[in-house]
Amino acid sequence: MTVINRLKARIRDVQDFPKPGILFRDLTPVLEDPALFADLVEAMVGPWRDSGVTRIAAVESRGFLFGAPMALALRCGISLIRKAGKLPHKTIARSYALEYGEGVLEMHANTVGPNDKVVIVDDLLATGGTAAASAHLIHDCGAKVLGSAFAVELAALEGRKKLEGRVEALLRY
């Protein structure tokens, strides 16, 4: 069975979470299966092996779970993109639209620089607002965004249209 079929079989659909009318794609069962988790990370790494990536930008919080092993496999650094007020050093910030309001993302001001080639990593691509805001933060530091990597994409929401560079999603709903 392919990693995509195994992934489909393990993702849990949760109706009306976090609010009524939302179908939440829960990747927790994937993380609980060590063989599937390892194969998923390897599949996410594959498209970037020869890209020259120097840094993974992992988006809070589930992006950390996929970004850290990807950075290890690619032998590159990892930079954290977090909600406002969570990082201890000097930060830069970017506001972005949420379906129910506005959010703010931050990253350390010196975590990437002009020589970096960055891949943004998160678990799921929905509307693309978080990944697009992350790309702006990376550009604000002078680095280049090679693209983005996701385990899952909700294709009907057309989030990839907001993103630059290569967009890789292993499973598209």
**Sequence-separated (6 or more) residues with CB below 8 Å from residue 132:** 96, 162, 163
For 12, other C-beta atoms within 10 Å of its C-beta total 11
What token pair was written down for 130? 């978080």
- Phi, then psi, of 105 in degrees rounded to 5: -110, 150
Does the bond joining 51 to the residue before it have cis omega, within 30 degrees of 0? no
82 is known as an active-site residue: no
Rounded to an integer, what distance in angstroms lies between the CA atom of residue 161 and that of residue 127?
9
62 is known as an active-site residue: yes
Rounded to an integer, what distance in angstroms lies between the CA atom of residue 139 and that of residue 141?
5
Catalytic residue among 25, 62, 160, 166: 62
Catalytic residue among 12, 32, 49, 99: 99
For the packed helices 34-45 and 62-74, what is the interaxial angle rounded to 10 degrees?
A: 60
Q: Which residues are catalytic?
A: 62, 99
